[in-house]
Amino acid sequence: MNFNEKLIELRKSKGLSQDELGNALGVSRQTISKWELAQSYPDFQRLVLLSDYFGLSLDALVKDIDVQDIRDKNLDDKKLSAIYEDINSAKSSINQVVNILAIIGVVGTILSILAGVFWG
């Protein structure tokens, strides 16, 4: 049984919702959902909390976790973070260009009005 399947089974055996388990561990319902869908894994501190909460040894809780899968998911998370940083940087640059163009437009409009007043 994989970690995510084990977590679902443990949570349901206690009659807990994802939200209730998340509150007990200090994480969101979405985080519990990601763990149960094997989209991410808890950090060591959360693994210890989980093992204590369910009364399991840490070894029993994590026995079937694929370490390479965790490394791959962490690498994917780092890549996504880098992509989001690039997107935010690009947005910032675009906003600066838009602001500069707006200022140029306002200055151009003012100059054209002044030119019309003085030479019109």
Domain boundary among 62, 87, 110: 62
pLDDT at 69: 66
* Structure confidence at residue 86 as a pLDDT band (50, 70, 90): confident
Tokens matching residue 46: 């959360």
Residues 24, 26, 27, 29, CA torsion sign: positive
Domain boundary among 12, 42, 62: 62
* Structure confidence at residue 120 as a pLDDT band (50, 70, 90): low
| pLDDT at 16 > cutoff 70 | yes
Most confidently modeled range among 29-33, 39-43, 84-88, 89-93: 29-33
Residues 54 and 73 in one domain: no
Residues 57 and 78 in one domain: no
Residues 81 and 97 in one domain: yes
Better-scored residue on pLDDT, 51 or 86: 51
Domain extent at residue 58: 3-62
Residues 72 and 107 in one domain: yes
Residues 42 and 89 in one domain: no
Task: Of 33-47, 60-74, 78-92, give the lowest mean pLDDT range.
Answer: 60-74
Tokens matching residue 63: 């026995």
Rounded CA separation 111/54 (Å): 73
Rounded CA separation 95/103 (Å): 12
Q: Is the CB of residue 57 less than 8 Å from the CB of residue 51?
A: yes
Residues 72 and 113 in one domain: yes
The separation between the first and the last C-alpha atoms of the chain, rounded to the nearest angstrom, is 84
Residues 55 and 74 in one domain: no
Q: How many structural domains is the chain composed of?
A: 2
